[in-house]
Amino acid sequence: MAFLKKTQRTKNQGPAPKKKIQKATFEANKKKEVGVSDLTLLSKISNESINENLELRFKNALIYTYIGNVLISVNPFRDLGIYTESVLESYKNKNRLEQPPHVFAIAESMYYNLKAYNENQSVIISGESGAGKTEAAKRIMQYIASVSGANENENIGKIKDMVLATNPLLESFGCAKTLRNNNSSRHGKYLEIKFNEQHAPVAGNITNYLLEKQRVVQQLKGERNFHIFYQFTKGCSEKYRQMYGVQGPDQYVYTATCIDAETIDDVKDWQDTLEAMKVIGITESEQDEIFRVLAAILWIGNISFIENDEGNASIKDSSVIDFVAYLLQVDNQSLTTALVERIMETNHGMRRGSVYHVPLNIVQASAVRDALAKAIYSNLFDWIVARVNISLGSKGTADDSLKTIGILDIYGFEIFEKNSFEQLCINYVNEKLQQIFIQLTLKSEQEEYAAEQIEWTPIKYFDNKIVCDLIEARRPPGIFAAMNDSVATAHADSSAADQAFAQRLNLFASNPHFANRQNKFVIKHYAGDVTYDVLGISDKNKDQLQKDLVELMGTTSNNFVKTIFPAEVNKDNKRRPPTAGDKIIKSANELVEKLSKTKPSYIRTIKPNQTKRPEDYDQAQVLHQVKYLGLQENVRIRRAGFAYRQTFDKFVERFYLLSPACSYAGDYTWQGSELDAVKEILKATRIPQTEYQIGTTKVFIKTPETIFALENMRDKYWHNMAARIQRAFRRRLQRKIDAITKIQRAIKEYRHGNKFEQLRDYGTANVLRYRKERRSMSLLGYRSFMGDYLVCNGVKTKGAFIKRQVGIKEPVLFSLGGEMLFTKFGRSAVRLKKTFMLTMQNLYIITANNVNNQVTYGIEFTIPVGSIKSVSLTNLQDDWLSINLDSATHPDFLINCVFKTELITHLKKINSNLTINIASTIEYNKKPRKIHVVKSTYDETAPKLSDKYKSSTIYVRKGHPANSNSKSKPTKKKMGHITHNKPSRDVHSARTYEKPMSSSGATKAAAPPPQKMAQQAASTAYTSTKKAPAPKPKVEVRKAPAPTPKPKVEVRKAPAPHPHVQQQEAKKAPAPQPMQVETKFNNASIPPPPPPPAAKPTLPKYKALYAFNGSGNNPNELLLALNEVVYLKQTDPSGWSLVENEAGKVGWAPTAYIGPVVDEPVQKAPIVNKPAQAEPVAANSGADFSTGLASALAARANKLRQDVDEDEEDDDDDW
């Protein structure tokens, strides 16, 4: 059960004061989550999806994942740098959900619950060998020692140091290199750290379980003995080498199988072990005795036997026996006798019978030798644990005033090719831990739902109690009981005891989790089926040292050796001594009882591969662990009710931004209770009621998709706010820049005149000399010769891109797109699009090519300005001119340029010797030295804003007289439209900013502002055309049709957008389409009301096939809603189309997003209103969440998009 922090509140305190909701802040350093950090948030619950998520996080160096409050840890087999002091500090006083998953978060949760709720805590670390259980236990101890150090005194500091020192000490004596793990725990331990009322550690206690004694005398190939033997033989001082005859590990039978281990430095670890002994308080004399015993064990392994004449065992090298006797301080003859003979005694009722000395063969003698070594090491290990407990201040008695944090680090589940008594004991303990894990996990869920009064459906799960009973039960007898009976029946003969046990196994044939085999049996554990060998299992269960060896050790003159061996057993006691099975059952039940009295936390460790290599992830192996650890069942139990649960205050603090009723400009504005705030948030986000339940203190959300949707909406809130701020800042900055530009221009014009207008007048009067008819657009007062229309001298413009790509380094004086006449042999001439750039030295003709669906630009012709002899034009208003070269090898160029007068003017400025030929025809060298004549004539069917070229003839409409002068520049005093709109915009801005919850009536009544369209038009025009005056006379004409003066406001607002559209199009002087609109606009003296809607049907009608929210790269894009009707104005080969919507907005949209539409019959119109039923459908879609939630979120997204569009149009500073 997850406990959430409540600001140091304890059970003994009264109700906590109402917590103030903190202002939301943007998480600038928030990392993008890889996979899901909590498996309960998986969309699909399966072993495979869990495995995929763990692999994805593992490969991104994220080894920790939650299942609710259970931590999953995948061993990385490398140092990830995630246990530093800075990382540890980041988890102090933090809720589990405030930081990414980590073992420190589990430790912090335990320590917090100990302080806040005054309850004993424990952490159960489980997993197979090599999965990282010991490392997790060490990190928990590291964290607790760090956070519990406030205001510590000297004694508390010593306790903390000793607790940490137990790690290297017990690792040395209890861990070894195995095939699966270089530092595998070969024992189990339960460390209890005891805290006083100030929550400082004052004592501790360690309980030892299941030391693998067999490893002392035998290891598999590639495995090592316990670490301490290699540390001792490699790193001990010369003193010990002289006193105890210590040699290298390769000289001892017990350590020679494998000497070194990768990533382990035995010499360094030896120093750490000595330091740990010193910290714990083991004296130097005690250390000497410990190492004497270790040396004795190593030399016992070197005792070898040979067969004598009678076929019995005898000592091969008596010098080894003598040295072992010296180390153990026993008689050497007694030691020899105990190893090669067995004393048997017969009993006659209450009387003692005869005593027999039975000689042993080599196999039996070797077994006795190994039994002595195992007994000595086992007793030594128990003494070390007891000595550590003495130093930690624990005498084994419980003190009720002290609260504890327990850390359980025990064997993982084991399945080998040959499994015997040791594996049965280990797997039995793991079954008990799995049982308590399932029971307490489910119990905590049930308790939380009951306390919160939440309805939920219990989920089925496998209760492994039946497997535990199969092993430990007494009535009917379980496997351990059957084993004890066989030992009692044939105690003197191990093989007979095994056969008796094999016969008793038939009693379990009816158990579905048991299967009998010949001399083997199978138990179906939660982690998989395990086959156990019967051979030798009874003798291991008996676990009794021969009486001869016990009596031998009792004769030692060494007090330490006497201490580690128990006192002589009472011979008159007729009760059967407890077997190893009895001991493990008792220990396991005591452990379960201890854990049941604590509030447990869980860490499930996973080993990703058998190679022990970093970044190596074996999917099949991990999938097996996922299955037997029961992660899927754990997720289902956690998800049986709800995937997410949070207290009201935390939920509101996280998501109040999503409700306009609860927030404004990032501040929490709700004045009611937190419960009502939760309801408002869920209502505003349109979460179906089937997707959540509200308890007494928490809100529960059923599926992960819902919480993901809430988080996504919260993230978008910040992006939307940032976009509004940026947009407002850019507009404000642009207004300042525009104002400065206007002031500068006005000053320059006042002092020196406008150079662009002067250049225009020079070209018209001095270059053309009134010999060519004029176009309407060229007569406008705003028409100036700006030159670089593609902004080639800029940075992030199309012209600059083309200039860089073709390699032009010089400043560009004039740039524009146009056409060039291209003639193929035997075919009509075609007009090809080109780009013209003029510098002080050259005129470049640039062409665009499509290479691999990418447009590339290249220079087709480079014409030195000095080589241009003359320029020829017609005397009509067409845009054709020929570039006549002073060359006998190159033809001339016939091009079409809208701003031909400006181009010629720049050429004349550069080359004063240039001749301007204006006549009714154009003569140019179509081929070298071959003159071709192009004629011109009037044709009223020609395009209004262009011309028509066919068969060497230019057809064009009649233009203005050649002697027409350009109009004077407007004085800008007619600002009627802007003056009319600005007060309305300011009023709306004030209302929106001060009253976020006000009605939308004012917003709907206001006419759409023209700023957005004005900016789009200005991006392709000159700076001087940005603030063109509104056609005020036409606006006044529109108002005339109003029937009465009263509704005059309504009438003037309804047609307002249409003149604005025409006004915008009129501003685009250089483009062909605006000129057409301008011509029509100027020639119409009294337009019919309203003219723009009448013109719309002439454009093709399209609708949006998909919603287009914009790419974010171009302000000229037009956002489209699904099925929105638009009118197609222009299609570009690049895949974009210029479209106009019903409101008169013009912009670019992807061609693939729109399609032609056919008007539906009138009777089908009501079908459009059907989406109004989406909300009740979503509310009743508990079985199919995706449909209901998707509809609700789609509706909310559309509303948010509309709100954003309105905000963009309403006010520059609406943020």
Tokens 């089908």, residue located? 1164
**1012, 1052: one domain:** yes
Report pLDDT for 1197. Answer: 54
Euclidean distance between CA atoms 367 and 386, whole angstroms: 28
Confidence of residue 574 (pLDDT cuts 50, 70, 90): low
User: Are 896 and 818 in contact, with CB atoms under 8 Å apart?
Assistant: yes
Higher pLDDT, 424 or 1031: 424
DSSP 960: B
Residue 454 has pLDDT above 90, yes or no: no
Nearest 10 degrees: Cα torsion 309, 368, 567, 335: 40
Chain centroid, CA 910 distance in Å: 62
What is the model's pTM? Answer: 0.56
**Percentage of the chain with pLDDT > 90?**
36
In the set 184, 205, 233, 925, the catalytic residue is 184
Residue 1168 has pLDDT above 60, yes or no: no
Report pLDDT for 1118. Answer: 87
Instruction: Give one DSSP letter per residue of 538-591, joined into a string.
Output: HHHHH----HHHHHHHHT-S-HHHHHHSPPPP-TT--SPPPPHHHHHHHHHHHH
Chain centroid, CA 1028 distance in Å: 51
Euclidean distance between CA atoms 1124 and 1149, whole angstroms: 12
Of 1052, 1069, 1097, which residue constitutes the final position of a domain?
A: 1097
Question: Which residues, in sequence order, are CB contacts of 256 under 8 Å at separation 6+?
Answer: 249, 250
Higher pLDDT, 121 or 988: 121
> Is 848 exposed, middle or buried, given 0-12, 13-18 or 19+ CB atoms closer than 10 A?
middle
Cβ–Cβ contacts within 10 Å for residue 473, how many?
A: 15
**1083, 1113: one domain:** no
Higher pLDDT, 351 or 1154: 1154
The pLDDT tens digits for 1077-1135 are 333 334 434 444 444 444 445 788 898 988 888 776 677 788 888 889 999 988 887 78
How many CA atoms does the CB half-sphere of 839 hold within 13 Å? Answer: 16
Euclidean distance between CA atoms 532 and 729, whole angstroms: 76
Phi-psi map region of 852: left, alpha, beta (phi>0 left; psi -120 to 50 alpha)? left
User: Are 93 and 657 in contact, with CB atoms under 8 Å apart?
Assistant: no
Report pLDDT for 84. Answer: 92
Let me know if 412 is a catalytic residue: yes
User: Are 851 and 805 in contact, with CB atoms under 8 Å apart?
Assistant: no
Report pLDDT for 991. Answer: 32
Distances (CA, A) of 540 to 313, 487, 537: 23, 10, 5
The pLDDT tens digits for 33-42 are 788 999 988 8
Q: Is residue 817, in this structure, part of any structural domain at all?
A: yes
Q: Is residue 334, in this structure, part of any structural domain at all?
A: no
Higher pLDDT, 1014 or 1195: 1195
Higher pLDDT, 743 or 629: 743
In the set 406, 412, 818, 959, the catalytic residue is 412
> Is 13 exposed, middle or buried, given 0-12, 13-18 or 19+ CB atoms closer than 10 A?
exposed
- Let me know the angle formed at the C-alpha of 752 by 746 and 756, rounded to the nearest 5 degrees: 75
Least confident of 437-441, 1150-1154, 1193-1197: 1193-1197
CATH number, domain with residue 897: 2.30.29.30
**1075, 1121: one domain:** no
Distances (CA, A) of 185 to 106, 132, 773: 22, 10, 100
CA-wise closest residue to 564 among 769, 387, 361: 387
Euclidean distance between CA atoms 921 and 876, whole angstroms: 10
In the set 120, 178, 185, 404, the catalytic residue is 185
Answer yes or no: is 130 a known binding residue: yes
Question: Which residues, in sequence order, are CB contacts of 257 under 8 Å at separation 6+?
Answer: 219, 221, 223, 224, 225
**816, 938: one domain:** yes
Answer yes or no: is 131 a known binding residue: yes
Per-residue pLDDT averaged across 455-466, rounded? 76
Per DSSP, which regions of 410-482 are E strands?
none
Euclidean distance between CA atoms 586 and 582, whole angstroms: 6
Q: Is residue 1209, in this structure, part of any structural domain at all?
A: yes
In the set 181, 484, 872, 936, the catalytic residue is 181
In the set 414, 445, 674, 1209, the catalytic residue is 414
Report pLDDT for 29. Answer: 58
SS3 1186: helix
Report pLDDT for 735. Answer: 94
Q: What is the extent of the structural domain holding 1146?
A: 1099-1159
Report pLDDT for 1039. Answer: 41
- Mean pLDDT of all residues in the chain? 79
Question: Which residues, in sequence order, are CB contacts of 1170 under 8 Å at separation 6+?
Answer: none
**713, 667: one domain:** yes
Residue 1002 has pLDDT above 50, yes or no: no
Instruction: Give one DSSP letter per residue of 681-734, joined into a string.
Output: HHHHTT--GGGEEE-SSEEEE--HHHHHHHHHHHHHHHHHHHHHHHHHHHHHHH
**809, 840: one domain:** yes
Euclidean distance between CA atoms 33 and 29, whole angstroms: 12
**762, 903: one domain:** yes
- Let me know the angle formed at the C-alpha of 351 by 347 and 354, rounded to the nearest 5 degrees: 50
Confidence of residue 346 (pLDDT cuts 50, 70, 90): low
Per-residue pLDDT averaged across 314-323, rounded? 93
Report pLDDT for 335. Answer: 93
**Percentage of the chain with pLDDT > 70?**
78
Q: Is residue 412, in this structure, part of any structural domain at all?
A: no
**1065, 945: one domain:** no
**1143, 1211: one domain:** no
DSSP 866: G
Least confident of 535-539, 664-668, 1055-1059: 1055-1059
Token output for 1183 = 């079985």
Let me know if 181 is a catalytic residue: yes
Per-residue pLDDT averaged across 87-113, rounded? 89
Token output for 337 = 């006798």
Q: Is residue 554, in this structure, part of any structural domain at all?
A: no
How many CA atoms does the CB half-sphere of 168 hold within 13 Å? Answer: 21
User: Are 851 and 858 in contact, with CB atoms under 8 Å apart?
Assistant: no
Report pLDDT for 1037. Answer: 38
**1060, 1134: one domain:** no
Token output for 491 = 């105690």
Question: Which residues, in sequence order, are CB contacts of 1111 under 8 Å at separation 6+?
Answer: 1117
The pLDDT tens digits for 187-236 are 889 999 999 888 888 899 999 988 988 899 999 889 999 999 999 999 99
Least confident of 165-179, 592-606, 769-783: 769-783
User: Are 113 and 122 in contact, with CB atoms under 8 Å apart?
Assistant: no
Instruction: Give one DSSP letter per residue of 762-801, joined into a string.
Output: HIIIIISTT-S-B-TGGG-TT-----BTT-TTSSSSHHHH
Tokens 């130093």, residue located? 391
Confidence of residue 808 (pLDDT cuts 50, 70, 90): very high
User: Are 294 and 232 in contact, with CB atoms under 8 Å apart?
Assistant: yes
Confidence of residue 550 (pLDDT cuts 50, 70, 90): confident
Phi-psi map region of 233: left, alpha, beta (phi>0 left; psi -120 to 50 alpha)? alpha
Residue 1061 has pLDDT above 60, yes or no: no
> Is 922 exposed, middle or buried, given 0-12, 13-18 or 19+ CB atoms closer than 10 A?
buried
Report pLDDT for 1208. Answer: 43
- Give 64's strand partners: 73
Report pLDDT for 806. Answer: 93
Let me know if 486 is a catalytic residue: no
Report pLDDT for 966. Answer: 78
**1009, 975: one domain:** yes
Answer yes or no: is 127 a known binding residue: yes
Confidence of residue 1175 (pLDDT cuts 50, 70, 90): very low
Per-residue pLDDT averaged across 726-751, rounded? 89
Per-residue pLDDT averaged across 639-655, rounded? 82
Number of structural domains found in the chain? 4
Of 1067, 1097, 1127, which residue constitutes the final position of a domain?
A: 1097
Residue 1066 has pLDDT above 60, yes or no: no
DSSP 413: P
Cβ–Cβ contacts within 10 Å for residue 734, how many?
A: 14
Of 956, 988, 1023, which residue constitutes the final position of a domain?
A: 956
Confidence of residue 825 (pLDDT cuts 50, 70, 90): low
In the set 113, 129, 182, 605, the catalytic residue is 129
Residue 864 has pLDDT above 70, yes or no: yes
Confidence of residue 350 (pLDDT cuts 50, 70, 90): low
Report pLDDT for 733. Answer: 94
The pLDDT tens digits for 890-943 are 899 999 999 988 899 999 889 888 999 999 999 999 888 889 999 999 999 999
CATH number, domain with residue 1107: 2.30.30.40
Report pLDDT for 13. Answer: 43
Peptide bond preceding 577 in cis form (omega within 30 of 0): no
User: Are 684 and 660 in contact, with CB atoms under 8 Å apart?
Assistant: yes
Answer yes or no: is 391 a known binding residue: no
Residue 612 has pLDDT above 80, yes or no: yes
Let me know if 874 is a catalytic residue: no
Distances (CA, A) of 7 to 10, 110, 112, 119: 9, 15, 10, 17
Per-residue pLDDT averaged across 1033-1054, rounded? 39
Euclidean distance between CA atoms 889 and 121, whole angstroms: 97
Report pLDDT for 497. Answer: 86
Report pLDDT for 1053. Answer: 39
Distances (CA, A) of 813 to 761, 838, 840, 884, 1021: 18, 6, 7, 20, 17
Let me know if 29 is a catalytic residue: no
CA-wise closest residue to 874 among 955, 830, 822, 935: 935
Euclidean distance between CA atoms 970 and 993, whole angstroms: 37
Q: Is residue 887, in this structure, part of any structural domain at all?
A: yes
**Cα four-point dihedral sign 525, 69, 201, 138:** positive
**762, 869: one domain:** yes
Nearest 10 degrees: Cα torsion 77, 81, 82, 88: 140
> Is 489 exposed, middle or buried, given 0-12, 13-18 or 19+ CB atoms closer than 10 A?
middle
In the set 35, 75, 126, 130, the catalytic residue is 130
Report pLDDT for 973. Answer: 54
Residue 22 has pLDDT above 80, yes or no: no
Report pLDDT for 404. Answer: 92
CATH number, domain with residue 692: 3.30.70.1590
Q: Is residue 996, in this structure, part of any structural domain at all?
A: yes
Higher pLDDT, 555 or 1048: 555
Q: Is residue 1057, in this structure, part of any structural domain at all?
A: yes
Report pLDDT for 150. Answer: 57
Let me know if 134 is a catalytic residue: yes
Report pLDDT for 97. Answer: 72
Euclidean distance between CA atoms 503 and 519, whole angstroms: 9
- Give 1154's strand partners: 1104
